[in-house]
Amino acid sequence: MTTPPDAATWTALADPHRRAMLGLLRQRPRAVGELVDALELSQPSTSKHLRVLREAGLVRVRAQAQRRVYEVDPEPLVALDAWLAPYRRLWSDSLDALGRRLDGTAVEDPAHEPSEDTP
Amino acid sequence: MTTPPDAATWTALADPHRRAMLGLLRQRPRAVGELVDALELSQPSTSKHLRVLREAGLVRVRAQAQRRVYEVDPEPLVALDAWLAPYRRLWSDSLDALGRRLDGTAVEDPAHEPSEDTP
DNA sequence: CTGGCATATTCCTGTTCCGGCATACTTCTC
DNA sequence: GAGAAGTATGCCGGAACAGGAATATGCCAG
C-alpha cells in the first residue's frame, strides 16, 4: 500500500531554497558552508532549512570534525513517487502509447486507489 | 530538459486538504458541493482551495449550469514526475537491481542534472 | 423578474513561516 | 587553555496563509 508521503515531506519541499539545497545535495554530499555559498542565504537560514529537511527525513547528516556534511536520503521521495503513481495513468494513458511498461505503474482499475491523505 | 514544476505547484500540493481534493478528483470529476461534503470543509474554504489548485493548473473547471465541475489536469504532475526523475536513481540503483528500464530515467553521468529551481 | 440554488469573493483574525541578527556550542589549531 | 572555524539555536518583525462569516455573482425555475 506504499505509505503516502508524510506531511513534513510536502511542506519541506514547498520551499524553493530547500528544493535547491536538495538539488545540490543530490549531486554530492556537502557541508553547510558549501550550501551557504552556493545558495545565497545566510548561514543561520541555511541551517534552519536543513533542519526542516532533516526532520522530514529528506537529508542525513554526518559529522566531520567541526563540519556537518549533509546528504540526500531518498526514502521520502520514494513515498512521493508512490503518491504520484495513481496520477500517472492520467497522462501515460493518453500520451504514452507504449503504455504499461513493466514498472510499478501497473494498470489498476480506476477509482480504487488508497484514499490517502484525507485529513 | 523537462520544465521543473512551477513554484505554484509545490505550494498547492503543500496543503493536506488540497491533496485530498486532488485525490478525490482523481477518481472522478466532481462538483464543488461534492467536495464540500466529502472533505469536512466550509464551502468558501473549499472554493478557495480549488482556486489555488486551479491557478496552479492542477485542476480544470467546466461549468454545468450553476455548478462547477472540477477535474484533475495532470500536466503539473508530469513536471513533478520529471523533477523526481534525477532523484530516482538514488534508490533505484540500490534497490532495483534490474536498473535502467527503458523509461525516461536513463542513466546519465552523475552530478550533471539541470541545476533547476535555484532561486 | 423573483426567489432559490451553487459557487466565488471579500473582510477579518489567528497562526505559521521566512529572514536577519545575535548568541551558544563544539571541535580544531597553536 | 585561548582563540578561531563551523554550525545550531533563540528572538524578533514582517509577510503569507488558512478558516469562518457575511456577502456578491451567475443561473435556473416558476
The grid coordinates of residue B93 equal: 540503483
Cα–Cα distance for residue pair B42/A4, rounded to 1 Å:
25
Cα–Cα distance for residue pair A55/A32, rounded to 1 Å:
16
Q: Kindly report, residue by residue over A50-89, the tens digit of the pLDDT.
A: 999 999 999 999 999 999 999 999 999 999 999 999 999 9
Residue B91 included in any domain: yes
Interhelix angle A16-27/B75-95, rounded to 10 degrees, is: 30
Q: Among all chains, which residue has been given the C-alpha cell 553547510?
A: A32
Residue A1 included in any domain: yes
Asked if B74 and A90 touch (Cβ cutoff 8 Å), the reply is yes
Residue A71 included in any domain: yes
Residues of B with Cβ-Cβ distance to A115 under 8 angstroms: 23
Q: Among all chains, which residue has been given the C-alpha cell 500517472?
A: A88
Residues of A with Cβ-Cβ distance to B86 under 8 angstroms: 26
Asked if A27 and B113 touch (Cβ cutoff 8 Å), the reply is yes
Asked if B18 and A79 touch (Cβ cutoff 8 Å), the reply is no
CATH code: domain of residue B79:
1.10.10.10
Residue A63, by phi and psi: left (phi above 0), alpha (psi -120 to 50) or beta?
beta
Inter-chain CB proximity B117 and A14 less than 8 Å:
no
Cα–Cα distance for residue pair B4/A80, rounded to 1 Å:
16
Residue A49's domain comprises 1-105
Helices (H), chain A: 7-13, 16-27, 32-38, 43-55, 75-95
Asked if A57 and A73 touch (Cβ cutoff 8 Å), the reply is yes
Residue B67 included in any domain: yes
What is the distance in angstroms measured between the alpha-carbon CA of B119 and the sugar C1' of D14?
21
Residue B110 included in any domain: no
The grid coordinates of residue B17 equal: 486538504
Cα–Cα distance for residue pair B107/B88, rounded to 1 Å:
10
The grid coordinates of residue A101 equal: 511498461
Q: Kindly report, residue by residue over A8-30, the tens digit of the pLDDT.
A: 999 999 999 999 999 999 999 99
Asked if A61 and A54 touch (Cβ cutoff 8 Å), the reply is yes
Residues of A with Cβ-Cβ distance to B74 under 8 angstroms: 87, 90-91
| Interface size, chain A vs chain B, as Cβ–Cβ contacts under 8 Å | 104
Question: With a threshold of 0.85, does the pTM exceed it?
Answer: no
Residue A86 included in any domain: yes
pLDDT along chain B (119 residues), means of 10: 84 97 96 94 96 97 94 96 94 59 46 48
User: Does the beta carbon of A93 lie under 8 angstroms from any beta carbon of chain B?
Assistant: no
Give the residue, A46 or B103, on which the prediction is more confident.
A46
Residue B119 included in any domain: no
Nearest-CA residue to the C1' of D21? Answer: B44
What is the count of structural domains for chain A? 1
| Closest Cβ opposite residue B23 in set A39, A88, A116 | A116
Residue B40 included in any domain: yes
Q: Is B67 helix (H, G, I), strand (E, B) or coil?
A: strand
- Chain A: residue nearest B13 by CA? A10
Q: Among all chains, which residue has been given the C-alpha cell 511542506?
A: A11
